[in-house]
């Protein structure tokens, strides 16, 4: 039973560039949430996708966008990168019907913006 | 914004001792969850307690919830060096759509062998 997988694990970009991060949810899950975790901080909710639509969004600018595919996998895109976007980006999956269940996290994609 | 605040920020204990971590939150919740994160890795779910529950056990873990005080505590008994990690409380707030979790800043637990 595959868990949540994320790619790439590490990447380095320069200011102004764009990045795409990918996530495959745990088998059987249909909801994907993305979190940003700065060094020494807790994860901050970016947005959540269910049925290929953005269902909820945190306090992040429009530079952060996403997509969910029919197979439930998801992408996070960040445009016009800033130094402050350097963080660990975590994908978490869940099953919508449970509504208030646990999240299963991937190992994250560590983004460094120079 | 942070919903939960953990206390203390850092905790260092000897192997075999108990570790108690606290979390306070601000708004009404559906449930409260505790997660563990080893350095730079993904988060692992530990335990979930619903708003109508007061105490829950799972192995060496005991979590309590006091909704009147908007606080929770996580007790790890007979700690091991492998328990060294960051611990986060996360609240699932009442919304009309799919639920989402709001995390605190975390507690760094060091267990000395």
Q: A54 touching B, CB under 8 A? A: no
> CB–CB of A100 and B100 under 8 A?
no
Q: Is A78 on the interface with B (CB under 8 A)?
A: no
Q: Which residue has the tokens 């290929």?
A: A52
Asked if B28 and B86 count as a contact pair (C-beta separation under 8 A), the reply is: no
Does residue B11 surpass a pLDDT of 80?
A: yes
Distance of CA B93 to the CA centre of its chain: 16
Min Cα–Cα distance to chain B from A46, Å:
10
- pLDDT tens-digit map of B51-101: 999 999 999 999 999 999 999 999 999 999 999 999 999 998 766 556 688
Q: Cβ of A99 and B99 within 8 Å? A: yes
**Alpha carbons B111 and B22: distance in angstroms, whole number:** 17
Taking CA atoms, A104 is separated from A28, B12, B24, B79, B105, in Å, by 12, 28, 23, 24, 19
- Give per-residue pLDDT as tens, A12-40: 999 999 999 999 999 999 999 999 999 99
Cβ–Cβ contact A60 with B under 8 A: no
Q: Which residue in the set B30, B42, B106 is minimally distant from A106, CB to CB?
A: B42
Q: Convert B84-94 to b/e letters by CB count within 10 Å (16 or more is b).
A: bbbbbbbbbbe
Strands A109-113 and B5-7: unpaired
């Amino acid at each position: 039973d595959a868990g949540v997988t994320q790619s790439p694990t590490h990447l380095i970009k320069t200011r102004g560039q764009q990045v795409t991060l990918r996530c495959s949810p745990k088998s059987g899950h249909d909801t994907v949430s993305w979190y940003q975790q700065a060094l020494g901080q807790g994860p901050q909710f970016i947005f959540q996708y269910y049925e290929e639509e953005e269902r909820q969004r945190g306090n992040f600018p429009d530079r952060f966008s996403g997509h969910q595919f029919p197979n439930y996998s998801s992408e996070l895109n960040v445009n016009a990168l800033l130094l402050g976007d350097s963080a660990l980006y975590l994908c978490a999956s869940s099953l919508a019907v449970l509504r208030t269940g646990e999240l299963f996290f991937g190992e994250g994609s560590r983004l460094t913006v120079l | 914004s942070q919903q939960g605040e953990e206390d203390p920020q850092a905790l260092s204990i000897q192997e075999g001792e108990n570790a108690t971590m606290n979390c306070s939150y601000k708004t009404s919740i559906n449930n409260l969850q505790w997660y563990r994160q080893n350095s730079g890795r993904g988060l692992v779910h530990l335990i979930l307690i619903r708003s109508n529950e007061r105490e829950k056990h799972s192995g060496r873990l005991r979590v309590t919830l006091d909704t009147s005080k908007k606080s929770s505590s996580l007790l790890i008994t007979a700690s091991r060096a492998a328990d060294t990690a960051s611990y986060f409380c996360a609240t699932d707030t009442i919304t009309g759509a799919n639920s989402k979790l709001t995390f605190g800043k975390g507690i760094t637990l060091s267990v000395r062998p």
